[in-house]
Amino acid sequence: MGSSTSSMAAKFAFFPPKPPSYDVFVEEATGKMRLTDVQPRDDVDVLRLPTRRRNNVVAVYVRNPSASLTLLYSHGNAADIGQMYHIFTELSLHLGINIMGYDYSGYGRSSGKPSEQDTYADIEAAYKCLKEKYGVKEEDLILYGQSVGSGPTLELAIHLPNLRAVVLHSPILSGLRVIYAVKRTFWFDIYKNIDKVPHLNCPVLVIHGTEDDVVDLSHGKQLWELCKEKYEPLWLKGGNHCNLEIYPEYLRHLRKFISAVEKFPPPQVVPEQQPTKSSEFASKSTDHNGETSRAITDKWEKSRPSISLSEKGRYHSMDSNEKSRTSTNTDRRDKSRSLDGLGKARNSTDQTEKARNSFDRFSDMVRSVGLCNAHCLKQTAHEA
């Protein structure tokens, strides 16, 4: 049963770039590992991490000297860390955090073949490295999962009771639910995020594009509904599965979220009775939208005055303070605006232009990378 499940997972869930976008070499002058085709940096470490399933995965660790938090990034399908490298370094700079990104088994120059269980072992190896090599504490860690990466992210998250926060970027309810709108969880399904996200006791940010034709927006919205500690979600109007990073709201909202979690300690863990069947979570999903969720939303609302949620705390991507800072232009002019969270007030034309240029460089870089085959999940599913 386990073998057939793994085989099915590999057929429709994994689409590693072929050939890999990078190679790994040892720099003679320093003896340090480096990636090809990128400028070597003193603040970036390249690592090979052994996993419990006897693979070796390649990872990069980006330091920020002013960081108090570290983000562990699980990338999406049809990408590897060679393509993600510049995004990692830019996010570290703009968000003021350390970042570790890693390739799944069978991706990039990581050994082995991709499978659901291997991705779980891969993220465990990355987390172990953060703890043992870099001294990262659980309460100073944010897990970030993009698309397929939401699977290993949530699997690790449910085992870390003192985790600081989670970001889900275009996440999936489960592998099967990307293809079919099933109402229950089947044994052969993979990445059963719908059953795991209710266990999280830390704040969760969900980001999803309204025009995502690979993983429907309903996946992100339902996962957000199931969260205990909801942070104001970001539904990017017009965003698809692979271009959310080019929207100014993306970095602005992500920075606001990280600033919020920096100011407050991790939530206290409240023991809860574990269900006997994973499918019970799907049938009881509406239970998490009652008083507990509203109380948590209220707590974040009070602690972050800039966050404006509706009465039920649903589906508002921009707060009133953001709106008050805008001019008479419409909402869509945000695409040409500079980032709102790069650290300095914009009181002159020169400062505004510098910020705009910074965002433009980030946007152009994201566009040039080609992070995902927009039909990678659906095409391979049809082949199955």
Choice among 212, 216, 319, 334 that is catalytic: 212
Q: How far apart are the first and last CA of the chain?
A: 17
Choice among 21, 92, 110, 147 that is catalytic: 147
Q: Report which DSSP code applies to 249.
A: H
Report whether 340 contacts 253 (CB < 8 A).
no
Choice among 208, 241, 253, 288 that is catalytic: 241
**What gap in Å lies between CA 92 and CA 98, rounded to an integer?**
6
**What gap in Å lies between CA 203 and CA 85, rounded to an integer?**
27
* 212 catalytically annotated: yes
**What gap in Å lies between CA 357 and CA 149, rounded to an integer?**
30
Q: What is the maximum alpha-carbon separation in the chain? A: 64
For the beta carbon of residue 322, count every other beta carbon within 10 angstroms. 18
Report whether 293 contacts 309 (CB < 8 A).
no
* 147 catalytically annotated: yes
Reduce the DSSP state of residue 5 to 3 states and report it: helix
DSSP β-bridge partners for residue 359: none
**What gap in Å lies between CA 84 and CA 80, rounded to an integer?**
6
Helices 248-263 and 349-369 cross at an angle (nearest 10°) of 100
For the beta carbon of residue 336, count every other beta carbon within 10 angstroms. 11
Q: What is the DSSP string of 85-135?
A: HHHHHHHHHHHT-EEEEEPPTTSTT--S---HHHHHHHHHHHHHHHHHTT-
Q: What is the DSSP string of 189-204?
A: ----HHHHGGG--S-E
> Please, which residues have CB within 8 angstroms of residue 175's CB and are 6 or more apart in sequence?
9, 12, 13, 151, 189, 190, 191
Which residues in the chain belong to E strands, given as ranges? 24-26, 33-35, 44-50, 56-62, 70-74, 98-102, 141-146, 165-169, 204-209, 234-236
* 241 catalytically annotated: yes
Active-site amino acid positions: 147, 212, 241
